[in-house]
Amino acid sequence: MTTKQQRQSLHGPPTGVGRLAGLRVALVFPVFIDVELASYQDNARYLGAVPPISLGYVAAVLEGAGAEVLLLDCPTLGMRVDRAVEVVRAFRPDYVGFTLATVDWLSSLKWMTGFKEALGVPIVVGGIHMECYPRETMTHDCIELGLVGHADQGLVELLARHQEGGDLSTVPGACYRDDDGEVVLVPENKRPRTDEGMPFPARHLWPTEKHFSIVSTEKYFTAAMSNFGCPYRCEFCILRGDALRQRSAMSVVDEMELCHHELGINEMDFFDPVFTMRRDRVFQICEEVKRRGLDSMVWSIRARTDAVDEEMLDALWAAGCRRIFYGIESGSNEILKRVDKRQTSTEHIRHAIIATKKRGFEVLAFVMIGNPLETPTTVGMTRRLLKDLPIDLVQIASLFPLPKTPIYEELMRMTGRDPWQEHILHGTPMKPTLRLDTGLDDETIRHLVTQTYMSFYFRPSFAKFALGRIKQPAQLMRGLEAAFGITKTFLSGPSAA
């Protein structure tokens, strides 16, 4: 069964024991507002209330060291900044923690400034953004401490030393300002390759009963990570093979078992980009899920069409996996090759999706619009692929070149500018978006995204599918809301491109 450390992280550890005993830390997941990124806003509104997994891990690490933790999942609780400040004030924290993603920067900064002004408590930050712009982030006075890398690798030491007024310069991944106000970034240790030492997310601290995703059907629902990082090298993505931290089959199934038996969770969505990256692990997980009688749970995975095969699909189905999200990205082979998704061709996609659907899975496709070489013709090819194949649901993102991706780095070389850096330092607007090798502008892309959504979803076959899978009335409401939102965006857009 599970290790002692992991068991503790679902229930909370014995209080008052450990390096951080007596310390009180509030972790805040803000409501993201005033964000300029249209696709981000549109997606975020319909994706559901997904738990803040990153902060769940941070909380578990802190609790494991004896700290008392409050985790405020504000989007799920519908809590705005002024109310959140009051709840955190009542908790009397020694630190307030935020997880940062570059796309959410302005919104996070607003929340952090609000907290700092109201409470005066030191703010500590981490998350994927700290791997992109740690130095620029630490120039903002409202932030006291930062950490680059996984929380289990340096957070306890960082807070313990900071409390003691000790030397931070040897804490791996630490970010702070020295006595002269200069930003100091301590190099990270080499990242571990496994999840050893990483507890399970502290799910007892967030409102599981309120979580759902746009496609979830069961009560209760949660999200999880079966690996950290990704071994592939798609040019639009920040996760690029170098920081892969893999979890064992046993650890993944232990987490499922604890969620099911101790929190009443019946649906788990694994958010890591390629659950199937290690074939042998997929079979081990499926066997173990069945052996422990967990195949009554509904679970979903994300995969690539070139990282599944028929035997694997059979095993996944037999173990209760019911939904596969495939990153298809485009219906144009030229674009797939250009963004280094080249192991996949549209033929390959076709084959894998038909094989998946044949077994009964729900098939979800992620596609992007605005990649290099994109034209209205290639968008038409994507649209046709989506309609020709037995795909049940689609999620479309307009490409927003993200920091630390080859597409963005090429743009920086070409223009001599780093717009994200300017954005982090000075709040400079990110629109109009710099785009690589495509003449499509933001408005046209926004419209193409909406048109593609409409051409896919406003079909009788989709209505039949959607009505057939409703298990809770709330699902119907969410579907109608999304349809209404898409139509509204379409009507407010420019005339068809």
Separation in Å, CA 418 to CA 130, 404, 485: 16, 11, 33
- Going by C-beta distance under 8 Å and a sequence separation of 6 or more, which residues neighbour residue 84? 28, 30, 72, 74, 111, 115
State yes or no: residue 199 binds ligand B12 (CB under 6 A): no
Q: Least distance in Å: CB of 57 to ligand B12?
A: 4
Q: How many secondary structure helices (H) and strands (E) does the chain include?
A: 19, 17
**Which of 63, 68, 104, 254 lies at the binding interface for ligand B12 (CB under 6 A)?**
104
State yes or no: residue 225 binds ligand B12 (CB under 6 A): yes
**Which of 6, 8, 54, 108 lies at the binding interface for ligand B12 (CB under 6 A)?**
54
Task: At 29, give phi and psi (nearest 5°).
Answer: -105, 110
Asked if 397 and 366 touch (Cβ cutoff 8 Å), the reply is yes
Cβ nearer to ligand B12, comparing 77 with 402: 402
State yes or no: residue 103 binds ligand B12 (CB under 6 A): yes
Q: Please name every residue paired with 270 in a beta bridge, in sequence order, or none if there are none.
A: 224
At residue 148's C-alpha, the angle toward residues 143 and 151, to 5°, is 95
**Which of 20, 84, 109, 132 lies at the binding interface for ligand B12 (CB under 6 A)?**
132
Q: Least distance in Å: CB of 460 to ligand B12?
A: 28
Task: At 388, give phi and psi (nearest 5°).
Answer: -75, -30
Cβ nearer to ligand B12, comparing 80 with 350: 80
Cβ nearer to ligand B12, comparing 177 with 359: 177
Q: Least distance in Å: CB of 123 to ligand B12?
A: 9
**Which of 69, 101, 224, 385 lies at the binding interface for ligand B12 (CB under 6 A)?**
101
Q: How many CA atoms lie within 13 A of 151 on its CB side?
A: 26
State yes or no: residue 30 binds ligand B12 (CB under 6 A): no
Dig out the tokens for 458 from the structure.
């406003």
- The torsion of the CA quartet 262, 267, 271, 273, rounded to 10 degrees, works out to 120
Cβ nearer to ligand B12, comparing 221 with 315: 221
State yes or no: residue 394 binds ligand B12 (CB under 6 A): no
| Contact window for ligand B12 (CB under 6 A) among 37-45, 185-193, 304-312, 351-359 | 37-45
CA distance 50 to 274: 19
CA distance 243 to 102: 18
Give the per-residue contact string, 259-298, with ligand B12 (x = CB under 6 A; - = no).
Answer: ------------x---------------------------
| Contact window for ligand B12 (CB under 6 A) among 109-117, 377-385, 396-404, 442-450 | 396-404
Q: Least distance in Å: CB of 75 to ligand B12?
A: 7
State yes or no: residue 129 binds ligand B12 (CB under 6 A): yes
- Going by C-beta distance under 8 Å and a sequence separation of 6 or more, which residues neighbour residue 299? 256, 267, 268, 269, 270, 320, 321, 322, 323
Cβ nearer to ligand B12, comparing 124 with 171: 124
State yes or no: residue 216 binds ligand B12 (CB under 6 A): no
State yes or no: residue 134 binds ligand B12 (CB under 6 A): no
| Contact window for ligand B12 (CB under 6 A) among 97-105, 310-318, 327-335, 449-457 | 97-105
Dig out the tokens for 132 from the structure.
């992109």
Cβ nearer to ligand B12, comparing 54 with 246: 54
Cβ nearer to ligand B12, comparing 71 with 315: 71
| Contact window for ligand B12 (CB under 6 A) among 100-108, 246-254, 320-328, 369-377 | 100-108
State yes or no: residue 106 binds ligand B12 (CB under 6 A): no
Q: Please name every residue paired with 25 in a beta bridge, in sequence order, or none if there are none.
A: 69, 95
Asked if 330 and 378 touch (Cβ cutoff 8 Å), the reply is yes
State yes or no: residue 52 binds ligand B12 (CB under 6 A): yes
Three-state SS for 449? helix
| Contact window for ligand B12 (CB under 6 A) among 127-135, 252-260, 261-269, 475-483 | 127-135
Q: Least distance in Å: CB of 496 to ligand B12?
A: 23
Dig out the tokens for 280 from the structure.
């042998």
Q: How many CA atoms lie within 13 A of 2 on its CB side?
A: 22
Cβ neighbourhood burial of 420 (10 Å; 0-12, 13-18, 19+):
buried
**Which of 67, 71, 79, 125 lies at the binding interface for ligand B12 (CB under 6 A)?**
125
Q: Least distance in Å: CB of 422 to ligand B12?
A: 15
Asked if 404 and 451 touch (Cβ cutoff 8 Å), the reply is no
Cβ neighbourhood burial of 80 (10 Å; 0-12, 13-18, 19+):
middle
* Binders of ligand B12 in range 331-370 (CB under 6 A): none
Residues making up the chain, counted from first to last: 497
With CB atoms as reference, the residue minimizing the distance to ligand B12 is 126
The amino acid occupying position 399 is: L
User: Which residues are at the interface with ligand B12 (CB under 6 A)?
Assistant: 32, 39-40, 43-44, 47, 50, 52-54, 57-58, 97, 99, 101-104, 124-129, 132, 147, 150-152, 155, 225, 228, 237-239, 271, 397, 402-403
